[in-house]
């Protein structure tokens, strides 16, 4: 059970990583990052079957932080959307990406 | 006073500087939004012509840093029972706190005029700087990977917002988005690393991890991947090559005082946490063999690549960004060496680097008319002769960044080299010296433009001003840099005393390799 969950979490993490690397839409990239964080959450929950309740508590911290990050991140995306009217990072060209 | 963390109330005393600072940040924030003078309505006749009404909030934020500094000093009289609690009360943390508080104070001092000219919301600006410092202090205090993660996020989220702070400036928004996406991406790696290390050792407490690693109960496979992912996460934050792609763009696009602040303080915080995790948690010889080669190559590539790219930069802010990557490389040498001398050298270097880097940025802000123009190297032509005082100061900062004898930067590099030599890292030491020599070229090129070239146009530098708070910051940093360059022993002794006992419980490298 633990091994299966860890493999699933690794797969989710890889999907998230590839999403950030391949997709060019800022919102989708951000969604992929959230997927990474949720992969970590799954790993923590799975591992807490072995090591006790600690892991499950961390999940709450991670979720809280992810929410705070989402607030700031979406605000930044909105503020840049006002300048460019797009969220595709290929169109942001003042700085070299 | 002795703190026993089985009594939960004692966490309150151990976290007093952080608590004071975060409450103060809220006060500054609320004072900022409840002020009668909104930035848009302000005219130049109101308040101080240099900084308008924002100055009050600036001084208020500085007072908060002073109070936090007072409690930080108070913690020197406090000891803890056992050295395994989630929050460390040791001198290492307190030394790191001085660096963060100093960086924050200098950053606030140099931004008075900038935030006014750029019409930024002062309350939020200073409040976010204070919150970022709080996060950094948590990172320095953390003896638990989860607390490190929380501190890192408090710091990072504040700095994301600060980077994108100038909403009228496209570059600022773009830099903010880039920093946010890549920063959050790297946080994912760091967090996955934490999860795997937790899976391998059954704990997120750094000391417990160290114990588990030392007695061989940790699962090597999970641990290796976990260490690799943690390294990636931290390498992003300290901007080591090849995880540096965001650094030049973000440093170029962010408001200049924010760039100064994050190139010094964010790097320092990441390095301090990096050092504690790797030297206390992963210090057993078997684990050192896992991360030593990774760190060696990171340090070598970072030093070489960053210095070479810096050679061809024409934008001064971008040049300083590559210089900050190069300095991360020098500091990674100390981490690779992993002994007490190198750890003390790293603290000393972080302190000097904070001073000289923020000092250099202060002059850059002055030259760019407290805004984001005139950042090309040609804009410095003849600057030295029209503003001799600022010219001399910038020259001193640049020489110190390059590591010229007589400045703090030189002594810092000597101590890093000494630490590397103690661990027998000869090749890395040679790379450090050679890349330092390369770095002389791009630092001195700016100085050459300042003193040896004629101004491009008449009256080119007439509008350069350095208001009083900025002058305070400049004088303080230059005095400290020269003091540490000429009489380094007191600061170094302080740093050495601060790392004493850092890794004593793991019983690993800090003890084994004197």
List, for residues B299-355, the tens digit of each pLDDT value. 999 999 999 999 999 999 999 999 999 999 999 999 999 888 899 999 999 999 999
Residue A40 forms part of a structural domain: yes
Phi, psi of B80 (to 5 degrees): -115, 155
Nearest CB among B146, B178, B198 relative to A95 is that of B178
Q: Do B180 and A65 touch (CB under 8 A)?
A: no
Helix (H), strand (E) at residue B3 = strand B2-3
The answer to whether the beta carbons of residues B486 and B409 sit under 8 Å apart is: no
Q: What tokens does B274 get?
A: 């990096």
The answer to whether the beta carbons of residues B163 and B176 sit under 8 Å apart is: yes
- Nearest residue in chain A measured CA to CA from B202: A51
Q: How far is A82 from chain B (nearest CA, A)?
A: 9
Does A60 reach chain B within 8 Å, measured CB to CB?
Answer: no
The answer to whether the beta carbons of residues B346 and B418 sit under 8 Å apart is: no
pLDDT in tens, A46-81: 999 999 898 999 999 999 999 999 999 999 999 999
Q: What tokens does A85 get?
A: 């009217």
Which three-class secondary structure state does DSSP give residue B260?
Answer: helix
Distances (CA, A) of A50 to A45, B15, B455: 10, 32, 70
Rounded CA gap, B398 and B395, in Å? 5
- Nearest residue in chain B measured CA to CA from A74: B177
Q: Which residues of A touch B178 (CB under 8 A)?
A: 89, 92, 95, 97
Place of tokens 């050792």: B201
Least confident of A84-88, B258-262, B361-365: A84-88
Rounded to an integer, the average pLDDT of B368-378 is: 84
Does A74 reach chain B within 8 Å, measured CB to CB?
Answer: no
pLDDT in tens, B264-293: 999 999 999 999 999 888 888 888 888 999
Least confident of A11-25, B349-363, B490-504: B490-504
B470 Cβ contact partners less than 8 Å away, ≥ 6 residues apart: B109, B110, B112, B113, B362, B365, B366
Cβ-Cβ pairs closer than 8 A, A with B, add up to 122
Cβ–Cβ contacts within 10 Å for residue B38, how many? 11
Q: How far is A80 from chain B (nearest CA, A)?
A: 5
Does B322 reach chain A within 8 Å, measured CB to CB?
Answer: no
Does A80 reach chain B within 8 Å, measured CB to CB?
Answer: yes
Rounded CA gap, B295 and B168, in Å? 40
Q: Sorting pLDDT into bands at 50, 70 and 90, what band is B514?
A: very low
Q: Which residues of B touch A40 (CB under 8 A)?
A: 188, 191-192, 194-195
Q: What is the pLDDT of residue B374?
A: 84
Nearest Cα neighbor of B270 from B341, B212, B186 is B186
Q: Which residues of A touch B139 (CB under 8 A)?
A: none
Does A55 reach chain B within 8 Å, measured CB to CB?
Answer: yes
Q: What is the pLDDT of residue B505?
A: 45
Residue A96 forms part of a structural domain: no
B195 Cβ contact partners less than 8 Å away, ≥ 6 residues apart: A9, A40, A43, A44, A47, B226
Q: Do B160 and A76 touch (CB under 8 A)?
A: yes
Strands (DSSP E) along B45-178, which ranges?
79-80
Q: Do B180 and A72 touch (CB under 8 A)?
A: yes
How many H helices and E strands in chain A?
3, 0
> Which residue out of A21, A37, A85, A95 would a mutagenesis test of the B interface target, given it has the greatest number of B Cβ atoms within 10 Å?
A95
Least confident of A23-37, B2-16, B26-40, B152-166: B26-40
Q: What is the pLDDT of residue B49?
A: 62
Rounded CA gap, B266 and B195, in Å? 23
Does B167 reach chain A within 8 Å, measured CB to CB?
Answer: yes
- The overall average pLDDT reported for chain B is 90
Q: Do A73 and B202 touch (CB under 8 A)?
A: no
* Domain that includes residue A12, residue range: 2-90
Q: Which residues of B touch A33 (CB under 8 A)?
A: 181, 184-185, 188
Nearest Cα neighbor of B394 from B353, B358, B369, B370 is B358
pLDDT in tens, B448-475: 999 998 888 877 788 888 889 999 999 9
Q: What is the pLDDT of residue A16?
A: 96
pLDDT in tens, B202-245: 999 998 998 898 888 888 899 999 999 999 999 999 999 899 98
Q: How far is A34 from chain B (nearest CA, A)?
A: 8
Nearest CB among B161, B188, B249 relative to A95 is that of B249
Nearest Cα neighbor of B463 from B355, B356, B361, B390 is B390
Query: How many domains, in total, are found in chain A?
Result: 1
Cβ–Cβ contacts within 10 Å for residue A52, how many? 12
Percent of the residues in chain B that have a pLDDT greater than 70, as a whole number: 95
- Nearest residue in chain A measured CA to CA from B175: A95
Residue A59 forms part of a structural domain: yes
Q: How many residues can be counted in chain A?
A: 97
pLDDT in tens, B13-71: 999 999 999 999 999 999 988 876 555 544 444 456 667 677 889 999 999 999 999 99
Rounded CA gap, B354 and B360, in Å? 10
Residue A85 forms part of a structural domain: yes
pLDDT in tens, B84-142: 888 999 899 999 999 999 999 999 999 998 998 888 888 999 999 999 999 999 999 99
Does B185 reach chain A within 8 Å, measured CB to CB?
Answer: yes
Residue A97 forms part of a structural domain: no
Residue A68 forms part of a structural domain: yes
Q: What is the pLDDT of residue B19?
A: 96
CATH of the domain at A19: 1.10.287.3510
Residue A29 forms part of a structural domain: yes
Q: What is the ipTM of this complex?
A: 0.96
Q: What tokens does B177 get?
A: 């988005």
B91 Cβ contact partners less than 8 Å away, ≥ 6 residues apart: B76, B497, B498, B499, B500, B501
pTM for the model stands at 0.94
The angle, 0 to 180 degrees and rounded to 10, between the axes of the packed helices A54-84 and B170-201 is 170
The answer to whether the beta carbons of residues B133 and B268 sit under 8 Å apart is: no
Q: What is the pLDDT of residue A91?
A: 82
- Nearest residue in chain B measured CA to CA from A69: B157
The answer to whether the beta carbons of residues B329 and B303 sit under 8 Å apart is: yes
Strands (DSSP E) along B363-450, which ranges?
none
């Amino acid at each position: 059970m633990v091994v299966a969950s860890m493999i699933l979490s690794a797969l989710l993490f890889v999907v998230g990583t590839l999403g950030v690397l391949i997709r060019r839409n800022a919102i989708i990239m951000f969604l992929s990052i959230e997927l990474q964080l949720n992969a970590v959450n799954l790993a923590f929950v799975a591992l807490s079957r072995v090591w006790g309740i600690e892991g499950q508590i961390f999940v709450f911290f991670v979720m809280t932080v992810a929410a705070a990050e989402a607030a700031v991140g979406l605000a930044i995306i909105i503020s840049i959307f006002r300048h460019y009217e797009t969220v595709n990072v290929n169109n942001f060209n003042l700085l070299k990406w | 006073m002795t703190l026993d963390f089985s009594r939960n109330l004692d966490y309150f005393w151990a976290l007093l500087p952080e608590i004071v600072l975060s409450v103060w940040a809220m006060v500054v924030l609320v004072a900022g939004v409840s002020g009668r003078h909104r930035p848009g309505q302000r005219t130049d006749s109101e308040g101080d012509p240099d900084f308008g009404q924002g100055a009050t909030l600036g001084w208020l934020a500085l007072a908060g840093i002073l109070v936090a500094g007072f409690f930080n000093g108070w913690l020197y009289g406090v000891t803890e029972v056992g050295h395994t609690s989630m929050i460390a009360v040791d001198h290492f943390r307190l030394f790191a706190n001085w660096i963060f508080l100093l960086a924050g104070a200098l950053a606030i001092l140099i931004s008075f005029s900038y935030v006014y000219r750029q019409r930024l919301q002062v309350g939020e600006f200073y409040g976010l700087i204070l919150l970022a410092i709080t996060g950094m202090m948590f990172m320095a205090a953390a003896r638990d990977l989860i607390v490190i993660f929380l501190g890192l996020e408090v710091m990072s989220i504040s700095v994301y917002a600060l980077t994108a702070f100038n909403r009228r400036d496209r570059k600022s928004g773009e830099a903010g988005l880039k920093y946010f996406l890549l920063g959050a991406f790297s946080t994912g790696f760091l967090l996955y690393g934490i999860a795997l290390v937790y899976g391998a050792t059954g704990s997120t407490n750094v000391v417990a991890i160290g114990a588990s690693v030392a007695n061989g109960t940790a699962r090597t496979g999970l641990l290796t991947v976990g260490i690799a992912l943690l390294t990636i996460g931290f390498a992003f934050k300290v901007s080591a090559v090849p995880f540096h792609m965001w650094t030049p763009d973000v440093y170029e696009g962010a408001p200049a005082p924010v760039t100064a602040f994050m190139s010094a303080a964010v790097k320092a915080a990441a390095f301090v946490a990096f050092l504690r995790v790797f030297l206390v948690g992963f210090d057993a010889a078997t684990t050192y063999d896992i991360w030593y080669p990774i760190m060696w190559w990171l340090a070598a590539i970072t030093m070489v690549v960053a210095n070479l790219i810096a050679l061809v930069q024409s934008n001064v802010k971008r040049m300083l960004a590559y210089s900050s990557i190069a300095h991360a490389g020098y500091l990674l040498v100390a981490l690779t060496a992993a002994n007490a001398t190198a750890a003390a050298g790293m603290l000393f270097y972080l302190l000097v680097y904070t001073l000289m880097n923020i000092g250099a940025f202060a002059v850059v802000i002055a030259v760019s008319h407290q805004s984001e123009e005139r950042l090309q190297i040609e804009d410095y032509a003849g600057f030295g002769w029209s503003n001799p005082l600022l010219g001399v100061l910038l020259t001193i900062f640049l020489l110190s960044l390059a590591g010229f004898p007589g400045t703090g930067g030189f002594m810092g590099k000597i101590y890093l080299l000494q630490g590397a030599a103690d661990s027998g890292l000869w090749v890395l030491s040679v790379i450090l010296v050679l890349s330092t020599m390369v770095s002389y070229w791009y630092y001195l090129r700016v100085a050459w433009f300042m003193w040896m070239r004629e101004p491009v146009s008449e009256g080119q530098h007439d509008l350069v001003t350095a208001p009083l708070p900025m002058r305070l910051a400049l004088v303080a940093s230059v005095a400290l840099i020269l003091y540490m360059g000429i009489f380094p022993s007191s600061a170094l002794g302080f740093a050495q005393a601060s790392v004493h006992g850092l890794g004593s419980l793991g019983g690993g490298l800090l003890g084994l390799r004197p």
